[in-house]
A and B are shown apart, each in its own frame.
Chain A
Amino acid sequence: MITLAVLAVLLPFAGAAAGLLGSRVPRGRTSARTARRRAAWFAVLPVAISAVAASWMAARQAIGGGEIAGTLAEIETGSVPVSVGLQVGGLSALVGVLVTVVALAVQVYSVGYMRDDPRYPSYSAFISLFTSAMLLVVYAGDLIVLYVGWEIMGLCSYLLIGHWWEDRANSRAAVKAFLVTRLGDVGFLFGIFTLGLSAGSFRIDDVLSADLPRGTLVAATMLLLAGVAGKSAQVPLHTWLPDAMAGPTPISALIHAATMVAAGVFVVARLYPAFLAAQPTLDVLAVLAAVGMLGAALAALAQDDLKRVLAYSTISQLALMAGALAAGSEHAAIFHLVTHGAFKALLFLCAGVVIHHVGSNLISHMGGLRTALPVTFWAMTIGFAALAGLPPASGFFSKDAVIAAIERSHGPAQPFLYGCALVTVGVTGAYAARAWLRTFFGSRRTGAPDRRGGHGGHPVPRSMLWPVALLAVPALALGFAGVRELDWESAATSVVIALLGAGVVYALWRAAPEQDPARVLGPFRAPCERAFYLDTVYDRLVTRPVLRLARGVVRADERVVDGAVRGSGRAAVGLSGVLRLAQNGNAQLYVTGLLAGVLLIAVAVVVLG
C-alpha cells in the first residue's frame, strides 16, 4: 500500500522532470506545437494517476483500512536521525485527494488558458513539481521530510508567480513571496529542531507521542506558527499573497488559494496534539486569526482587481480556519479547508475565464457578463454563495461548523475572536455581492487591452470550461458531508448577517449601478484599498534599512576591513623606506658608521670592563 503513496508523490515529480527536459527534444527539430502537446501529456497524465492513487488511499481510509506507513531509509546525521518515510492517515488521505483533484483540474484548464504561451512546458512542469512537493508535505511521516516539501512548494510558487518575468512587477512579486515565506520558514525550522531534539526523533508519530514539557511545546509551536503564518498568509506575514496574483490565474487557483496556502492550516492540524497542549500558542493564533479575517475582508471590499478581491478573501478564509484551530476544532478547520479548496479554486478558474474573455483584471472593466458567459456565471454564483456561506453551497456548512466551534470555545481571546468572526461573515457577504453584481450584472463596460495584446471578447476554449463545471459540483455539494453536525442556531445567525452585508451592497448598487458600492466605506476606503498601508510600513522598517545596511557594509569592507590590510601593506613599505635611507650606496657613510660602531664598542669595553 505504501507503494501507492510513493507512486503518488513520485509520478508528478517524474512528470516535471520529463516536461522540463523532454518536451523540446530533439532541439531544433521539435515544433512548438509538438513540444506543447508533449508537455501537456507529461503534465496531465501523472497527476491523473496520482489523483486515482490518492482517492484509492482515501477510500481505504474511509472504510477503516488503517494507516499506511513506511520508512524508506534512516539517514544518520550524527545526532537525531532523519527517517525518510511516508505516512497516510485519515487527514493526509483527505487533503491528498483535494490536492490531486485541484491540481488535475488546473492542469487541464491550463492547457487551454496557456494556449498561446511559448513557455507552457516549463509552466506545466513547475505545477507538477509543486503537486509532488505538496503531496510530500501531506504524506510525510517525518518533520524534516515535510520541511523539504514545504520549501520546494515555496520555490514553485516563486517560479510560477514570476512566470511572466518580462514584467518587472511580476518578478518583484515573486521575490517578495519567496522572501516573506522564507522568513517564516526559519522559525518553522527552529520549531522542528525544538520538537525533534526534545523528542529524540523527527518522526511525527514519535514527536506526538513523546511526553514533552509544556514550556518546550509552547516554544516549539510558537516557532512553527511563524512558518504557518508565512505559508498560509496570516497576519503579519500575509503581504505577499495579494501581490502573488501577478502569476497566471490557474496558479492563483491552485497554489495561492486551494492548496499551498492551506498547507499551514494542514500542518497545525497534523501536529494538533502538540498545539492543544500549548494554550498560549492557541491564544496567539486566535488573536492573529481575528485581526486577519476582519482586516482582509475589509481590504477585499475595497479592491478593484478581481483577483485581488479573491486573494484577500483567501487570507480572510484561511484566518477563519486558523480561528477554528485556535478554538480547538481541527475538524471544523479541515472541513472548511476542503470546501474552501473546492470553491476558491472554482472562483479563480471562473475569474480566469472572465479575465480571458474581457482582457482585463479590473472589475470596473467588467459588467453584464451574465449573458456572454452563462456557464461561468452559474459556476461563479455557486462559488460566491459558498464564499458568503449561503445555503445550500458547501461553504454554508463548513463556515457554520467554524462559527459554532468558535462560539463554544473558552479561551481568553474567545469573545474577540467570535466578534470578529461574525463581523467578517457580514463583510464577506458584502464583498461577494459586490464582485458578483459588478461582474455579471449592469451594463457592459469597455475592456482595456490585456497583456497578450487582445481587446476582449476572446472565445473561451472548452478545456477551460470543463474544469469549471467539474469543480462546481463539489463546491456545491461537498458541504452535505457535514449536514448532520449542523448547528441550526448559529447557522441562522450567520446567514442573516451575511445576507445583511449582501443586502447593503445590493441596495447601494440598485441606487447607482455605475458606481462602486465600496463607497459605503467612506473615508475608510483608501486605507482598506491599500490594506492598511502595511506594505509601506514594511518597506520603511525592513527593506530600506537592510539595503542601507548592505551599502554600509560594502563601504566598511572597502575602507575599514580591507583598509586595515592595505594600510599594513603601506606601513611595511613605509617602514622599509626609512630603513632604506641607511642603504644609500655611499661608501663614506658606511665606513663612518663602521668606525662609529667600533668606537662605541671600544668605549663600552673600557667603561663596563
Chain B
Amino acid sequence: MSWIPIAMLAVPLLGAAALLLPRFAGGPSHRYGLAVSGVTLALAVVLVAAFDYGDAARTQFATDLPWIPGLALRFHLGVDGVSLPLVVLTALLTFLCFVHLAGRPPHRPRALVFTLLVLETGIIGTFLALDLLLFFVFFEVVLVPMYFVIAIWGGPGRRAAAVKFILYTLLGSAVLLLGLLVVWAQAGTLDMVALARGGGAGIARSAQIAAFLAIGVGLAVKAPMWPLHTWLPDAHTEAPTVGSVLLAGVLLKMGTYGFARIAIPILPEGAAAVAPWLGALAVVGIVYGSLACLAQRDLKRMIAYSSVGHMGFVLLGFATLTPVGVNAALFGNVAHGLITGLLFFLAGAVKDRYGTADMERLGGGMLRRLPYIGSLLTFACVASLGLPGLAGFWGEMLALFGAFRPAAALSRPLFLVFMAIGGLGTVLTAAYFLRMLSRVTHGSPAVPEGPPVTSAEEIREILGDEGPVEPVAAGTAVTAAVAEESAAVLAPPAEPVGGRAALRDVTAYELAAWVPLVVLTLLFGLWPKSLLAITTPAVQAILSGVGS
C-alpha cells in the first residue's frame, strides 16, 4: 500500500502539469481542480482507512529510494500518527477551497487552479517527507505558489503583502537550512526516522542548542511565533479567501509540524535548553495576539491576529516537552486548521457581500440580514474561543495542563506562570471574539454606513438559483450577467445597488464547503479520542529522547 503517499503527491502535481496543455485554455478549470483535489482527498481517505491504528507510532506506507546518492539524499516518504491528521487536513481543505471556487469563479481560473494544485503538492510533501533535505525542498516549494496566490488574486495591498511574505519566510528558511545542515554535519545522516530513533545521539549539546535555535527560528517564522509574526496579518488580510484558508489552515502547521517531527525528537537536549524561551515567547504571543485582536477594525485582520494567539497555545504545548503538551499541540494544529479555515471562509463570504470587512462599515445586525452566515460566524467564533464540546477546547486545555507539570528538566514555577498567563489569554480570546460578534452580528442593520457592493460573481449566483431575487438587484444583475457572458471575463464590480439591498444568504456551494468543517469541529470536540488515539503513541515515541 506504500503507493498511496506517492500517488497523493503525483495526482495534484500531474494534475497541475496537465493544465499546461493547450486544450485547457479557457475551459472550466474549477471543475477540473475539483476533480483532481477530490481524487487526492479520496486517496487521503484510503490512507485513513488503511492506517494501522494499533501501531500509530510506526512509520507506515514507507517509500525509501535513493535520489541523489552523491549527497546521500533519499526520496523517503511515510506516514505516522503525527503526520496523518495533517495530511488529511490538507487534502480536505484544498478540496473545500475548490468547492468554494466552483461557486465563485475567480478571474484567471486556470492559473489559480494550477497554483493551488502545486501548493497542495508542496504541503502534502512537507508532511510526508522523512528526509531532512526532502522536507526542506517541499517546505520551499510551498512559498512560490503562495506568493502568486497573494500577489495576483489578493486585495488592494497585495503586492507589498506578497513581497513581505516571501522575503520574510525565505529568510526564515535560510536559517532553517543552516540548522538542518548542522544536524547533517554532526549526525552524518539526513534520515529523520533514524535521527529520531537516535534521539540526538552523536550530536554535541552545544551543537544541539545551535541547531535547535536555527531550526526553531526557521519554523517559528512560519508558525508564526511572536515577534516573528508581522508578515502574517498583511498576508492573510490581502490574500483571497482560498489563500487565507490554506495559509491559516495548513501553511502555518508546517512550522509547528517541524517542531514535532524534527526539532524536538532529533535535538532533545537542545529542546530542553531552549524550551523555557519558547514557552515565554509562546505566552507573550497568546496575550499579545489577543490584545491586538481586541483593537482591530478589520474582520480578516482580526482573524489573522487570532492565529498568533492560537499558535501560541500550540507552541506552549511543545515547550512543555511532555506527552500531554505535544498531544495538545498536534490537536490544536488540527483544530485551528478546521476552525480558522471556517472563519476565513466566512470572513470572505461577508466581504463578498458587504464589499468590505471593516467592522465599522459592516455595521450591526448581520443575524438579521444574513441569518445563516451570522449563525455560522457565531458558531465558528465560539469554537475558536475554545468552548468545551468543540474542537478548539482540547488543544488549549491540554496545553495548559502540560504547562501545569512540564518535563522534569524544566522549571515548574516558570511554567506555572506561563499557564496562568495562558489562562488569562483564554479570557482575552473570548473577549475579542464576543466583542466582534456583538458589533457585527448583533444590533439592528438600520444604518449601514457603507453601501454594499454587489459583485458580478454574486449576481450570477443569484440568477443561477431559483431563490427570490431582490427587485433592485435584479435589473443590474441581468445586464451584468449578459455583459459577462459575452465577454467571458468577469466584469468589474457592478454599481452599488441602493442603500439597503437584500444580500444573498449562504449559497449551496458555500454550504458544501463549510459543513464538513462544522461537522469535524463538532466531532473532534465531542469525541477528542478520535484524534488523541492516533497521536498519543506517536507522541510518546517523539519524546523518548527527552526522557519524560
Q: Which A positions have Cβ atoms within 8 angstroms of B?
A: 73, 75-80, 82, 144, 147-148, 150-152, 155, 158, 162, 165-166, 168, 170-172, 174-175, 178-179, 182-183, 186-187, 189-190, 193-194, 197, 546-547, 549-551, 553-554, 557, 561-562, 565, 569
Provided the pairs A78-B322, A546-B294, A565-B230 are in contact, do residues A151 and B388 lie with their beta carbons within 8 angstroms? yes
**Chain A hits for B323, CB < 8 A:** 78-79
> Are B443 and A166 in touch, CB under 8 angstroms?
yes
Q: A78 touching B324 by the CB < 8 A rule?
A: yes
Residue of B230, B368, B428, B532 touching A75 (CB-CB under 8 A): B532
In whole angstroms, what is the CA distance A562 to B435 when docked?
A: 26
A contacts with B: majority SS: helix
Report B518-541 CB contacts with A as 1/0, cut-off 8 Å: 000000000011001100100110
Q: Is B419 an interface residue (CB 8 A)?
A: yes
With CB as the reference atom, state the residue of chain B lying closest to A73. B529
A182 touches B427 (CB 8 A): yes
Contact A75–B426 (Cβ < 8 Å): no
**Contact between A561 and B441, CB atoms less than 8 A apart:** no
A98 to B206, CA, bound (A): 64
List residues of chain A with CB within 8 A of the CB of B324: 77-80
Q: 0/1 per residue, B419-435, Cβ < 8 Å to A?
A: 11001101110110011
Q: How far does the alpha carbon of A118 sit from the alpha carbon of B292 in the complex, in Å? A: 37
Does B402 lie within 8 Å of A79, measured CB to CB? yes
Q: Which residues on the A side are within 8 Å of B318 (C-beta)?
A: none
Report B429 CB to chain A, min CB distance, Å. Answer: 9
List, in ascending order, chain A residues with CB within 8 A of B539's CB. Answer: 78
Hey, what's the 0/1 contact readout for B430-463 against A, CB within 8 Å counting as 1?
1100110010011110000000000000000000
Main secondary structure of the interface of B (DSSP, over half): helix
- Of the residues A75, A186, A197, A554, contact of B423 by C-beta under 8 Å: A186
User: In the complex the two chains form, is B430's CB within 8 Å of A171's CB?
Assistant: no
Given the known inter-chain contacts A147-B388, A171-B443, A197-B404, please indicate yes or no for A179 contacting B227, CB distance below 8 A: no
Most A CB contacts (10 A, CB to CB) among B296, B387, B400 go to B387
Q: Counting CB contacts under 8 A, is B398 at the interface?
A: yes
Known: A75-B528, A166-B365, A179-B434. A565 touches B387 (CB 8 A): no
| Interchain CB contact under 8 A, B444 and A166 | yes
Q: How far is the CB of B396 from chain A (nearest CB, A)?
A: 10
Does B292 contact A550, Cβ atoms closer than 8 Å? yes
Q: Are B405 and A152 in contact (CB under 8 A)?
A: no
Given A79-B322, A178-B434, A183-B427, output 6 extra A-B contacts at Cβ < 8 Å. A77-B398, A78-B324, A78-B536, A80-B401, A150-B388, A186-B427
Chain B proximity of A117: nearest CB distance (Å)? 14
**A179–B367 CB distance below 8 A:** no
Contact A178/B367 with A77-B324, A565-B168 known, Cβ cut-off 8 Å: no
Give which listed residue, A77, A186, A547, A553, contacts B401 with CB less than 8 A.
A77
Q: With a CB–CB cut-off of 8 A, which chain B residues contact A158?
A: 434
Verify A193–B426 contact, CB threshold 8 A.
Answer: no
Give residues in B with beta carbon < 8 Å to A. 164, 167-168, 227, 229-231, 288, 291-296, 322-327, 364-365, 367-368, 382, 387-389, 393, 397-398, 400-402, 404-405, 419-420, 423-424, 426-428, 430-431, 434-435, 438, 441-444, 528-529, 532-533, 536, 539-540
User: In the assembled complex, which residues on chain A have CB atoms less than 8 Å from the CB atom of B231?
Assistant: 565
B294 touches A190 (CB 8 A): no
Q: List 17 A-B contacts (CB under 8 A).
A: A75-B532, A76-B532, A148-B388, A151-B388, A162-B442, A172-B438, A175-B431, A182-B426, A182-B427, A190-B404, A197-B404, A547-B295, A549-B291, A553-B291, A553-B295, A557-B230, A557-B292
Q: Given the complex of chains A and B, what is the CA–CA distance between A193 and B431 in angstroms?
A: 24
Q: How far is the CA of A163 from the CA of B261 in the complex (A)?
A: 47
> Is the beta-carbon distance between A175 and B368 smaller than 8 angstroms?
no
Contacts of A197 in B (CB 8 A): 401, 404-405
Q: Which of B322, B325, B400, B428 sits near A193, CB closer than 8 Å?
A: B400
A171 CA to B441 CA, complexed, in Å = 10
Q: How many angstroms between the C-alpha atoms of A189 and B388 in the bound complex?
A: 12
Closest to A183 in B: B427
Q: Is the CB of B295 within 8 A of A165?
A: no
**A166 and B368 contact, Cβ closer than 8 Å, known pairs A77-B398, A197-B405, A553-B295:** yes
Residues of the A chain whose Cβ atoms lie less than 8 Å from the Cβ of B528: 75, 82
User: In the bound complex, how far is the Cα of B401 from the Cα of A190, in angstroms?
Assistant: 8
Contact of A554 (CB < 8 Å), options: B292, B322, B443, B540? B292
* Nearest residue, chain A, Cβ from B288: A553
Within the complex, what minimum Cβ distance (angstroms) separates B391 from chain A? 13
A150 to B397, CA, bound (A): 14
CA distance A141 to B153 in the complex (A): 53
Contacting residues, chain A, for B420 (C-beta < 8 A) = 190
Contact between A547 and B230, CB atoms less than 8 A apart: no
A550 near B402 (CB under 8 angstroms)?
no
Among A82, A183, A186: residue with most chain B CB under 10 A = A186
Q: How far is the CA of A190 from the CA of B417 in the complex (A)?
A: 12
Given A171-B442, A182-B427, A561-B230, A547 contacting B294 (CB threshold 8 A): yes
Contacts of B423 in A (CB 8 A): 186-187, 189-190
Min CB distance B234 to A, Å, is 9
CA distance A179 to B387 in the complex (A): 12
Q: How far is the CA of A554 from the CA of B438 in the complex (A)?
A: 21
CB distance from B235 to the nearest CB of A (A): 12
A597 to chain B, nearest CB (A): 32
Within the complex, the shortest CB–CB distance from B500 to chain A, in Å, comes to 16
List 10 A-B pairs, minimum CB-CB distance, nearest first.
A78-B323, A550-B294, A79-B324, A148-B388, A171-B442, A165-B442, A78-B324, A550-B295, A562-B230, A186-B423
Q: Is the CB of A179 within 8 A of B430?
A: yes
Q: Give A562's nearest chain B residue, CB to CB.
A: B230
Task: A187 to B427: give the CA distance in the assembly, Å.
Answer: 11
Beta-carbon nearest neighbor of A84 in chain B:
B529
A76, A197, A549, most chain B CB atoms within 10 A: A76
CA distance A190 to B419 in the complex (A): 9
Is A189 touching B438 in the complex (CB atoms < 8 A)? no
- The smallest C-beta distance from A148 to any residue of chain B, in angstroms, reads 4
CB distance from B430 to the nearest CB of A (A): 5
Of all chain B residues, which has the CB nearest A187? B423
Q: Which of A75, A77, A151, A183 has the most CB of B within 10 A?
A: A77
Contacts of B168 in A (CB 8 A): 565
Which B residues touch A179, using CB under 8 A? 427, 430-431, 434
| CB-based contact B387/A554 at 8 Å | no
A551 to B431, alpha carbons, bound, how many Å? 14
Nearest B residue to A554 via CB reads: B295
Please tell me which one of the listed residues A78, A151, A189 contacts residue B326 in the complex, with CB atoms under 8 A apart. A78
Instruction: Give A572 to B426 CA distance when docked, in angstroms.
Output: 39
Bound-state CA distance A422–B424 (Å) is 38
Q: Say how far A587's CB is from chain B's closest CB, in angstroms.
A: 34
Assembly CA distance A78 to B406 (angstroms): 12
Determine if B443 and A165 form an interchain contact, defined as CB atoms under 8 angstroms apart: yes
Q: What is the bound-complex CA distance between A82 and B529, given in angstroms?
A: 10
> Which residues of B sit under 8 angstroms from A148, Cβ to Cβ?
388-389, 393
Find chain A residues with CB under 8 A from B532 CB: 75-78
CA distance A166 to B444 in the complex (A): 5
* Contact assessment for A569 and B529 in the assembled complex, using a CB-CB cutoff below 8 Å: no
Nearest residue (CB) in A for B430 is A182
Which of chain A's residues have a CB closer than 8 A to the CB of B441?
165
In the assembled complex, the CB of A212 is this many whole angstroms from the nearest CB of chain B, namely 15
Q: Which residues of B have CB within 8 Å of A151?
A: 387-389, 393
A547–B428 alpha-carbon span in the complex (Å): 11
Alpha-carbon distance A171/B402, docked complex (angstroms): 35
Interface centre among B326, B401, B404, B419 (most CB of A within 10 A): B401
A76 to B229 CA separation, bound complex (whole angstroms): 33
Q: A168-B443, A175-B435 are in contact. Are A561 and B227 (CB under 8 A)?
A: yes
A155 touches B529 (CB 8 A): no
Closest A residue to B525 by CB, please name it.
Answer: A148
In angstroms, Cα B444 to Cα A482, docked, is: 51
Q: CA of A144 to CA of B533 in the docked complex: distance in angstroms?
A: 18
List the A residue with the shortest CB-CB distance to B441: A165
- Docked Cα-Cα span, A165 to B397, in Å, equals 30
Cα distance A260–B385 when bound, in Å?
A: 21
